[in-house]
Structure 1
Amino acid sequence: MTAAAFRGARRLPGTLVFGAVVVGAFIVLAVLGPWIAPFDPDMFSVRSRLLPPSTTHWFGTDEFGRDVFSRVLAGAHYSLLMGFGATSLSLLFGIPLGLIAAFDRGAVGETIMRAVDVLISIPPILLGLLVLAVTDPALWKTIIAVGLVYVPIMTRIVRSVGLGLLAEDFVQAARARGERAAWILAVEILPNAWPPIIVETALRITFAILLGSALSFLGLGAQPPASEWGLMIAESRPFIDRAPWIGLMPGICLCALLISVNLLGEGLRELLDPRLAGRG
């Protein structure tokens, strides 16, 4: 059994393994961050202001003497919560809307797709700003805003997949048996649509994290003294010449997380797409 499992693991795409390991490491750090952080991420220390990286402060300290390494650990859960929370919200609304638009070729489907076309034409960052401009900034509001931004994109993707599956013989057989539309969508279409949806979900997490960090950078996401990475980068701007490590360290972690999630999505695409099954 162990040898068989090992041989199966060797057939997995390298991008999938590497991305899963790095993303898993970030998840572990996000969960254990409050317990393994060497300092309180919000503790001020006037005597420790703007210290460079050292054996005591691995990532240095910021303008308030706060340990940057501890703040980076504490901020990991913000980015992961943004990515997974916003993407889950986009799936919650995008999947049913996409399936309905694929199945209904009448007024309902057309109305959904025309609304999707209008929303997709608006740049995501601008749409996020429009959603957040009417309320006070807060992290949970940013998650909702980012999730709503990607609902139209997810709807279009699910509709495209659904249209292809509707032409398959097993769907035609279900229609011939007189099955209801809800049953066909839930039992015949959705289970077979999951592979491309899973791949798109992994990639959408990347965009959600990036957009959430951009909104926090603009002051519309997490608010001080939160240790969200985008906010940390924004707060480091006045000290970029004297203490570049304040913004450099969260920036590196943000890039590493985005790249690893992208690799995870690419690996899932190679694994689930039969046309790429033997490419590794």
Structure 2
Amino acid sequence: MVILRAELLKWKRSWVLWAALLAAAAAPALNGLIFWSTKRLRAAAGQVIDIPWDGFFAQAASFAHLLVYPLLFGFVVTYAVAREFQEGAATNLFALPASRTALLLAKLGAAAVILAVPVVAAVPMTVVAGTPVIGRPPSWAELAGGLQVHLIAGLAQFLLTPLILWLATLTRGYVVPVAAAGSFVVANVVFSMAPGDRFLWWPTALPAWTAQATWVPDLFVHLPAWWVELPPLFLVFLALAAATVARRDVV
């Protein structure tokens, strides 16, 4: 706990948290714009479209996990590790009376706390974006449902971060892990447009499909099986990251 507290203190004055909150606003804004445009077009054609809050929350979370959060989660985890090497602080860090694995887990735990902030903040942001479109604020039950969707999908996204963590410990820089996180976004966009359901099992897209599954019955049937994929990926790459940081020299 002492190590985790020390890691959290490093984030206290960091600009990354504010950037994460700004990034979290992108998906609700995009979702609100899409639904508003659709509503206007339908109204011009004499049609009325009813937009439910559960669908609005699910779609906003899906956009976030398809386009924004892979890069955001990847960058935060990379920043937690790479800055120690880039700023020359790794030597002092590894001199502490704690194992390198404990230090790595503390960094991942601190990153989880930091990432929880934009995930939770995205809920009121979605309310702000959706209320003018839907015409009313969500009920408490709808708000709780939206929070649940964002938290579950956020957990799914977090279970993918050890891959980025391993690349950050392996390269000790920003380029490779952030590029890998960017490739998650590219893969998500490509597979989201692919026909059929055979691409629904691509790991990096599972957080987005998890969010959509709360609203789309055809996706919900896959939900239990999807979660069989994620914990093993988390454990395997976390073990690789721990082994890498334990065996490599400081410089």
- Asked which structure has the greater RCO (Cα within 8 Å, sep 6+), the reply is 2
> Counting helix residues as a fraction of each chain, which structure ranks higher?
2
Q: TM class, shorter-chain normalised?
A: 0.3 to 0.5
Structure with greater Cα Rg: 1
Q: TM-score, normalised by structure 1?
A: 0.31
Q: TM-score, normalised by structure 2?
A: 0.34
